[in-house]
Amino acid sequence: MGAKVDVKFVFCNLTKEDQKILVALEIMRYDDIIILNCQENMNKGKTYTYFSSLPEIFSVSNIQPYYPPYHYVMKADDDTYIRLENFVESLRPLPREDLYYGYVIPCPSMDPFVDYMSGMGYLVSWDVVEWIKDSDIPKKHLEGPEDKVFGEWLRDGHRARHRYNAKWSMYNFPDPPTRCTHELWPDTIAVHLLKNQQKWIQTLNYFNVTRDLKPSKLYNIP
């Protein structure tokens, strides 16, 4: 792949004893968690807290000596399956400044400069992350559908002059069919609305994600 990709699961403050144990175990095993100083929510500012916290979390230090720490930052729903290799390849020719990438809404639209990118998964360049932290525009508009609100920040701040619509490499799971769905196909970057285990299994099976399972005397999976 030739790219550094870090995947993190993002929580607001933990409030239950089982969360504190289970999330701590996850961190100890995989180191793939960020816990933000906020109350868990979807459309009341968590997205702002996430993006605005990153410049401080990944500030230049002995631990993180590079700037920017990442060229891009993505927010994705937890019911979205992302194929990282295809995703990375789609980013290679794109600008690393003032970029906004995703699946443009409304579903029939192919114009990334109208409206906003779906919350299934959208990406911005690091300079946009820093702008979110420093600008008063996002601070004054926190509540509402988080993907729509995010697009309104960029519109009001005249940001994201570079935009990329990844439709139909990004799409909703094909069943039930809607104007936002697409059949599973090899050029896929992301599949959204995997709301149950059956949909996850169907998707993972289509992309043959277990093809590299090594043979062993310890198991037999036909």
30-74 pLDDT, tens digit each: 999 999 999 999 999 999 999 999 999 998 775 667 789 999 999
pLDDT of residue 2: 79
User: What are the helix (H) ranges across 42-169?
Assistant: 46-57, 84-91, 126-134, 136-139, 146-156
Is residue 130 in some structural domain? yes
CATH code assigned at 54: 3.90.550
Residues 159 and 172: their CA atoms lie apart, in Å, by 27
Is residue 3 in some structural domain? no
CA-based radius of gyration for the chain: 18
Is residue 179 in some structural domain? yes
Rounded to 5°, the CA angle 192-107-138 comes to 80
Helix (H, G, I), strand (E, B) or coil at 61: coil
Is residue 25 in some structural domain? yes
Is residue 57 in some structural domain? yes
What confidence tens digit (pLDDT) does each residue in 67-118 have?
899 999 999 999 999 999 999 999 999 999 999 999 999 999 999 999 999 9
For the chain, what is the domain count? 1
Is residue 162 in some structural domain? yes
Q: 32 lies in which domain range?
A: 9-206
